[in-house]
């Protein structure tokens, strides 16, 4: 019997999730069907209810529905509870369970795939939107020495500091007040999608620093190119995060963790 899964979003036609999960299924011998579902902006709850009523087993949720998924879940994993967003849904004991695998995906890509330690490091997060909020609970669990959130509207960064203050040393700053050096810099802004970057000082990076862009494209992102030009030892895009968060969802649904490296290589055309 083939179990049904899907990604829901608006837009959703760009999603690589079906390709990723079908590669996972072939690798692990799991029998699944995984589709894209374009959901009307005012029809998310009905779409989710209908999917599970028709025998669907699990959903990935992408923009702009992650906060609605959080509200819809009957119970939430601790990392999703704190993140205020859900990207993975499934049924358990008659309840709709919500989880958030985004932060785990990024941290696993950094630490496991690329050997970038986070414990005891000074970490800078660029941006204060949903991507950064979803990352913070998992990042703080890695015990960095300090996390600084930089944002154009510093009040948004300060709101995250207040929300996550109990997780470790955390502060907010405006871009024009940034002072390095940082060991790890993670770009959680969407500016790079339009070819832009936040204003970053030239001395932002510590020696041997790692830079990570949460978005990805066909070639190096604007932030990756900036990092390489300013001496980063490691400059990565978010494709690994995409595959790792999908693997975490697959583990929740199927009880087996697929190997991510061959999937990442396939997506890059290696």
- Which residues are the active-site residues? 66
Taking Cα atoms as reference points, which of 110, 209, 190 lies closest to residue 151? 190
- Tell whether residue 173 is among the known ligand binding residues: no
Q: Annotation-wise, does 154 bind a ligand?
A: yes
* 141 assigned to a ligand binding site: no
153 is in an annotated binding site: yes
Residue 128 marked as a ligand binder: yes
- Residue 62 annotated as binding? yes
Is 27 part of any known ligand binding site? Answer: no
238 is in an annotated binding site: yes
Question: Is 23 known as a binding-site position?
Answer: no
Is 151 flagged in the annotation as binding? yes
Query: Is residue 249 a known part of a binding site?
Result: no
Cα(35)–Cα(186) distance, integer angstroms:
30
Is 152 annotated in some ligand binding site?
yes
Show binding-site residues: 15-17, 62, 87, 102, 127-131, 151-156, 214, 216, 238, 245
Q: Which residues are annotated as a binding site for NADP(+)?
A: 127-131, 151-156, 214, 238
Binding site as annotated, residues for shikimate: 15-17, 62, 87, 102, 216, 245
């Amino acid at each position: 019997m083939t179990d049904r899964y899907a990604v829901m979003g608006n837009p959703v036609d760009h999603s690589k999730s079906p390709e990723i999960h079908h590669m996972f299924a072939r690798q692990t011998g799991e029998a699944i069907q995984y589709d894209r579902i374009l959901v009307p902006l005012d029809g998310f709850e009905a779409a989710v209810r209908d999917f599970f009523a028709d025998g669907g087993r699990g959903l990935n949720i992408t923009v702009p529905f992650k906060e609605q998924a959080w509200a819809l879940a009957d119970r939430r994993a601790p990392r999703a509870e704190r993140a205020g967003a859900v990207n993975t849904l499934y049924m358990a004991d008659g309840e709709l369970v919500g989880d958030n695998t985004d932060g785990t995906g990024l941290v696993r890509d950094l630490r496991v795939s690329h050997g970038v330690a986070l414990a005891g490091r000074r970490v800078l997060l660029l941006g204060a939107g949903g991507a950064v909020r979803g990352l913070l609970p998992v990042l703080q669990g890695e015990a960095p020495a300090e996390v600084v959130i930089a944002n154009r509207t510093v009040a948004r960064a300060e709101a995250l500091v207040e929300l996550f203050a109990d997780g470790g040393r955390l502060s907010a700053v405006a871009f024009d007040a940034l002072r390095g050096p940082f060991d790890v810099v993670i770009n959680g802004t969407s500016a790079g999608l339009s070819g832009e970057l936040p204003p970053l000082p030239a001395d932002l990076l510590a020696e041997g620093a790692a830079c990570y862009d949460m978005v990805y494209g066909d070639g190096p992102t604007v932030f990756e190119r900036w990092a390489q030009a300013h001496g980063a030892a490691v400059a990565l895009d978010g494709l690994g995060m995409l595959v790792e968060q999908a693997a975490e969802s697959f583990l929740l649904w199927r009880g087996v963790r697929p190997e991510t490296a061959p999937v990442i290589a396939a997506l890059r055309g290696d």
